[in-house]
Amino acid sequence: ATLDNDGKTSPASATVTASYGKLLTKSFLGADSSGSQKYKWELDYNFGEKNLPAGTSITDALDGSQVFSGNPVLTYEDGSTVPASSYVVSYDSTNKKMTITFPNGLDQGVK
């Protein structure tokens, strides 16, 4: 950019590096240290920080004899807890699927 003011010219420049996260990634965090054969996974959802509409959902499915245990804990990218009123977790035990729905939509990344 160049500013021309009263016959004086003042050039300036700047650079911005944009980094866009992925919409979905799944990472294996390892096995439970108790020897119980429980595996820990982490899903990173909407790290591109899109403005996702009401009713947006994400589904995770299991294979073979695996089963879901416990309740998922959702946090924002900064580590703060997502309020429980912001999402609904449902299970389909027949098809071994867990679905997390965001009734009001989502505009930031969650783990």
pLDDT one-digit tens code per residue, 10-48: 888 887 766 667 889 999 988 888 877 888 889 999 998
Q: Per-residue pLDDT averaged across 83-97, rounded?
A: 92
Q: Measuring CA to CA, how many Å separate 105 from each of 21, 23, 57, 67?
A: 18, 14, 9, 28
Q: Which residues pair with 98 in a beta bridge?
A: 60, 91
Query: Is the entire prediction scored with pTM above 0.85?
Result: no
pLDDT of 45 reads 93
Per-residue pLDDT band for 105 (boundaries 50, 70, 90) equals: very high
Mean pLDDT taken over the chain = 88
